């Protein structure tokens, strides 16, 4: 991650997946160069289909569409653009079908490239459209939330929801390129922005003790959205996720499960609190606390980990407890979690900062205890 000597600072993370490898380029205030980068990196670019979240379209979608259309190349690039309503309801079969019909009506073919501009919802939806149109076309991701930058931009998970379940339909489909400009984060409200830091902290706990130390000493800079600290933190987060995904692209070996640290609790928190009460990252922060609590109680790690994690989460303006937690409501949700194997609860628990283990066959009372202790 060496800044280039000319032009803006660019931190690059290479996601290594054989012939599906791709780079993530992390910059600040350099989105006006994205059109150029896309043209440079993707050969044979004749038709771009830009799908933007309506909330970022004017500031980030349209300017990119215009730059792409204006680009002086031998053959002009045809640019089609559409927007999608913000929020989870857009990840529907109906919206999937609408976008596919739109790609077709715009003359899309197997050489077309889909560019997604937005957060996780847009990336998941547009990514599944890219995976499915003509049995797969190329796909560029421009994540505009911190959560999407450090989570969904790596790993190739795309998908939509069914009325009865989230993320049960989709494909593993890797992007050809991910472009990140930290300047886009300036427009996020505080709560949404800070929520993304929970996943950043997660990478420190599960994979990288040195990075955890960096976060401890730079929490103030990150809360203040300092560009240099953000580029470093986003780059390190993407690198940690890329290492895990590179070992287990299709989630078959179990390695990829470590990314779920705090998440079995978090899904139960989001579900029992009512979707919308907590942002995903807030629930993940509390969920990591519950998981660390279980790890202490079962003697897997020492109290120092718990204390450092608590302090860092607090320094990032995120919750560490949940006064209204109801174990009787949360446990049945956790038992229905798709990561439950043959009716046994499994958890990712820390052994020390930078290292976690999967623990199967966990006693229900230990889970209950951890939830109750986090009621404050």
- Please give the residue ranges that form the binding site for a second copy (CB under 8 A): 93, 96-97, 100-101, 104-105, 109-110, 131-136, 157, 159, 162-165, 168-172, 250-251, 338
Active site annotation includes 256:
yes
Active-site hit among 33, 47, 138, 199: 199
From the list 33, 218, 236, 241, the catalytic residue is 241
Using the minimum distance from each CB to a second copy, give the nearer residue, 163 or 276: 163
Catalytic pick among 33, 157, 218, 231: 157
Q: Does 144 show up as a binding residue in the annotation?
A: yes
Two tokens, residue 221: 């800079």
Q: Is 67 annotated as a binding residue?
A: no
Is residue 124 marked as binding? yes
Distance CA 271, CA 285 (A): 15
Residue 75 structure tokens: 């053959």
Least distance CB 131 / a second copy (angstroms): 7
Catalytic residue status for 138? no
Residue 150 annotated as part of some ligand binding site: no
Q: How far, in Å, are 21, 229, 251, 339 from residue 256 at the CA level?
A: 17, 26, 6, 11
> ∠ at Cα 361 (374, 301), nearest 5°?
50
Two tokens at 16?
């290594």
Q: Which is nearer to a second copy, 119 or 170 (CB)?
A: 170
Residue 356, classed as helix, strand or coil, is strand
Residue 218 a catalytic site member:
no
Q: Least distance to a second copy from the beta carbon of 130, Å? A: 11
Is 280 annotated in some ligand binding site? Answer: yes
Q: 107: Cβ–Cβ under 8 A, 6 or more apart, which residues?
A: 47, 78
Catalytic one among 260, 270, 282, 293? 260
Note every long-range contact of 187-190, with CB atoms under 8 Å and residues 24 or more positions apart, other chains counting.
187/56, 187/59, 188/145, 188/146, 190/317
36 is known as an active-site residue = no
Cα 280 from Cα 107, distance rounded (Å): 37
Known binding residues for Zn(2+): 199, 263, 280
Residues marked active site are found at 135, 157, 199, 241, 251, 256, 260, 263, 267, 280
């Amino acid at each position: 991650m060496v800044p280039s000597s000319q032009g803006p600072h660019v931190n690059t993370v290479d996601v290594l997946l054989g012939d599906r490898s791709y780079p993530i380029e992390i910059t600040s205030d350099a989105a006006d160069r994205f059109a150029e980068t896309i043209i440079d990196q993707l050969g044979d670019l004749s038709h771009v289909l830009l799908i933007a979240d309506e909330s970022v379209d004017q500031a980030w979608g349209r300017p990119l569409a215009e730059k792409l259309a204006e680009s002086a190349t031998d053959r002009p690039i045809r640019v089609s653009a559409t927007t999608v309503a913000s929020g989870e309801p857009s990840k529907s079969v109906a919206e999937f079908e609408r976008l596919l019909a739109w790609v077709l009506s715009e003359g899309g073919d197997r050489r077309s490239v889909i560019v997604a501009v937005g957060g996780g919802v847009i990336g998941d939806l547009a990514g599944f459209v890219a995976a499915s149109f003509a049995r797969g076309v190329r796909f560029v991701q421009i994540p505009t939330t911190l959560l999407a930058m450090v989570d969904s931009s790596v790993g190739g998970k795309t998908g939509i929801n069914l009325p009865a379940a989230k993320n049960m339909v989709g494909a593993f489909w890797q992007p050809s390129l991910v472009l990140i400009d930290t300047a886009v984060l300036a427009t996020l409200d505080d709560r949404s922005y800070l929520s993304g830091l929970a996943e950043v902290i997660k990478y420190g706990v599960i994979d990288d003790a040195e990075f955890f130390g960096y976060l401890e000493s730079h929490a103030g800079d990150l809360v203040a959205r300092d560009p240099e600290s953000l580029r470093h933190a986003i780059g390190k987060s993407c690198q940690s996720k890329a290492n895990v995904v590179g070992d287990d692209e299709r989630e078959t070996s179990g390695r990829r499960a470590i990314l779920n640290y705090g998440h079995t609790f978090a899904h139960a928190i989001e579900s029992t609190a009512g979707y919308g009460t907590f942002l995903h990252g807030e629930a993940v922060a509390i969920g990591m606390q519950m998981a660390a609590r279980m790890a202490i109680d079962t003697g897997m790690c020492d109290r120092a980990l718990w204390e450092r994690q608590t302090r860092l989460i607090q320094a990032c303006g995120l919750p560490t407890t949940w006064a209204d937690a109801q174990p009787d409501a949360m446990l049945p949700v956790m038992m229905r979690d798709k990561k439950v194997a043959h009716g046994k609860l499994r958890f990712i628990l820390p052994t020390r900062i930078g290292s976690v283990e999967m623990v199967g066959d966990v006693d229900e009372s230990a889970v209950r205890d951890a939830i109750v202790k986090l009621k404050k």
